[in-house]
Amino acid sequence: MKTDIHPKYIDAEIRCACGNVIKTRSTKPSIVIGICNACHPFYTGQQKFVDTAGRVDKFQQRAAKTAAAQAAAAVKKKKV
C-alpha cells in the first residue's frame, strides 16, 4: 500500500451562525455553517424564517411584475 497519500485528519470546530460550537475531526481545522441542529426549526419545534440574501423578496418582486404584466395584457386584449 502507498504511504502518505491520505490527508491529515485533525481536531476541528464546526461553528454555527447562532453561536453553537461542535467539536469533531476533519481535514479542515474550522468549518462555518449557517444553520445547525441547535437552531434548525425541525429540531427546535419553533418556526423560523431564514431568508438568504433576500431571495424571497426577489421572488415576490418578480411575481408581482408578472401579475401586473398579465393584468395589462388582459386589459389590452379586452380593448381590442
| Predicted pLDDT at 51 | 64
Kindly give, in sequence order, each residue whose CB lies less than 8 Å from that of residue 36, ignoring residues fewer than 6 positions away.
14, 16, 18, 20, 22
- Give per-10-residue mean pLDDT for the chain (80 aa): 87 92 94 87 73 78 90 80
| Predicted pLDDT at 48 | 64
DSSP 39-74: T-HHHH-S-----STTHHHHHHHHHHHHHHHHHHHH
- Flag whether the pTM goes above 0.75: no
Q: d(Cα 8, Cα 29) in Å, to the nearest integer?
A: 10
Q: d(Cα 8, Cα 14) in Å, to the nearest integer?
A: 17
